[in-house]
Homo-oligomer: A and B are copies of this chain.
Amino acid sequence: MAERLVVIGGDAAGMSAASQARRRRGPDDLEIVAFERGGYTSYSACGIPYWIGDVVDGPDALIARTPEVFRDKYGIDVRLHSEVTAIDLDRREVEVRDHGKAETYRHGFDQLVVATGAVPLRPPVPGIDAGGVFGVQVLDDGVAVRRAIDDGAKRAVVVGAGYIGIEMAEAMVEHGLDVTVVTREEQPMATLDPDMGRLVRDAMADLGIAVRTGELVQGIETSRDGTVEAVTTDGGTYPADIVVLGTGVRPNTDLARDAGIALGRSGGICVDLRMRAGGDGVDGVWAGGDCVESYDLVSRRPVHVPLGTHANKQGRVIGINIGGGYATFPGVVRTAVSKVCSLEIARTGMLEADCVAAGLRFVTAIVESTTRAGYYPGAAPITVKLIAEVRSGRLLGAQIVGREGAAKRIDTLAVALWNEMNVEEMTSLDLSYAPPFSPVWDPVLIAARKAWDAVEDDIQRWHRASGGDDAR
């Protein structure tokens, strides 16, 4: 008899796991049923802002594989609008609410993949559930925002200035809306240090986006019919026909927690290297994607990093393991990339604030260079910031802000971080050089040089301050 695999959640992690498992085990050996509470499978949530901004088509173009493809090509039974409402680990059953047929049933499993994703954080203020207030987490959210814009929204307030907030702000500006972004942080893009975030703020201002920093949202004002009219902060009131929440997400773990599956310090489901959840003595329970916590290879702490690329990798690892193979997900170094208009933004590793919180002493280096040889057409500005540990010179984090061709250089730094390189060794890295692609010293190398200089200066200062050998 075939083993029964149940997947909860039909997006990246869940469906990658299902597909990989299927690749290794046929339908006679493994029966796969995937429950998705929404109306889509395997879509690119990261593409939603670009669809809203008419940069890409949607929603169909954002869907990698439809339920029909999963059924017909992979022999995977995907059930849409089907919400798993309980997991019973003892009986090895899930309880499913079919919202289409308005009925509830139970379904047994031998292997279970929990891929319930994340849910937008909603500031706990009056009016937050009003009509016209949207998260941007699932494809259905995109459909809703899109409809509101088509229905004639003129003024938008975006709460939060992280990736989604900034991308949505740009998308709505493209539609001619007046857009105000409100954040309680010192600068937009708090995933960067404030000195780098300032460059992002300038680019947003150039686009005509009003940016209000250091303001805390206190309430959403609504009309009598319950739709949004304005956002009130401790700094002002901003009229709004539409409010988009870019205030981050939390792992969607209620279901797992209620089933007795352990959560970690970051709030995500605790998993081991093979993505097994449930802890000791619980076999055949796996979790991946935005609902789990990952191991940060730099800070060596658990972190919650909701990102489609991790979800895909984790799903693949789960699927290989369920399929009888062996694979692990070692962790993350917190690499991320985005853009505001033509300004590219990237980061990896720890921020200054993260280092302070972790008690690490560090030096920083910021360099301004160009993406190509200075004399070559299209040479665009690039600012690279590195953070390195004192004494050891170990790379702790990196940030890049620049124009065309700048951001993807973060990958070079992510691989250096992954391998625990120190900035001195990095000055020797054999990075590609030709005038159309880089100055003779790639900006990453220049930054490594400057960071190592800072490490050496710090050692000398420390030596002098401690009296040094000469004084003894």
Binding site for B on A (CB under 8 A): 12, 44, 46-47, 50, 55-57, 61-62, 163, 307-310, 312-313, 316, 328-339, 344, 346, 348, 373, 375-377, 405, 407-412, 414-416, 418-419, 421, 425, 427-438, 440-442, 444-445, 449
* Least distance between A324 CB and chain B CB atoms (Å): 12
Give the CA-CA distance A310 to B329 in the complex, in Å: 36
Q: Verify A346–B432 contact, CB threshold 8 A.
A: yes
In contact, A431 and B411 (Cβ under 8 angstroms): yes
- A313 contact set on B, CB distance < 8 A: 427-428, 445
Residue in B308, B348, B432 whose CB lies within 8 Å of A336:
B432
* Bound: A242/B12 CA distance, A: 58
Q: Shortest Cβ distance from A52 into chain B, in angstroms?
A: 12
Task: Name which residue of chain B comes closest to A425, CB basis.
Answer: B330
Write the nearest CB–CB distance from A234 to chain B, whole angstroms.
Answer: 32
Q: Is B411 touching A333 in the complex (CB atoms < 8 A)?
A: no
Q: Name the residue of chain B whose CB is nearest to the CB of A57.
A: B375
Contact between A339 and B414 (Cβ–Cβ < 8 Å)?
A: no
Q: Are B429 and A56 in contact (CB under 8 A)?
A: no
Contact B428 A329 (CB under 8 A): yes
Contacts of A449 in B (CB 8 A): 316
When the two chains form the complex, which single residue of B46, B348, B410 contacts A435, counting CB atoms closer than 8 Å? B46
Alpha-carbon distance between A106 and B262 when the two chains are bound, in angstroms: 80
CA of A15 to CA of B198, assembled, Å:
37
The answer to whether B440 touches A333, judged by C-beta atoms less than 8 angstroms apart, is no
Residues of B near A331 (CB, < 8 A) are 428
Instruction: Using CB atoms, name the residue of chain B closest to A456.
Output: B325
Does the CB pair B437–A47 fall under 8 Å? no
Q: Which residues of chain B are near A308, meaning CB under 8 Å?
A: 433, 440
Residues of B near A418 (CB, < 8 A) are 429-430
Q: Which residue of B lies closest to A60 (CB)?
A: B375
Cβ of B440 and Cβ of A44 under 8 Å apart? yes
Q: Are B410 and A335 in contact (CB under 8 A)?
A: no
Chain B residue nearest to A375 (CB atoms) is B61
Bound: A425/B329 CA distance, A: 9
CA distance A419 to B412 in the complex (A): 12
Q: When chains A and B are docked, how far (Å) is the Cα of A348 from the Cα of B310?
A: 27
Q: CA of A55 to CA of B409 in the docked complex: distance in angstroms?
A: 24
A62 and B437 CA atoms in complex are apart in Å by 15
Of all chain B residues, the one with the shortest Cβ separation from A332 is B430
User: Given that A376-B55, A412-B411 are known contacts, is A334 also in contact with B436, CB under 8 Å in the complex?
Assistant: no
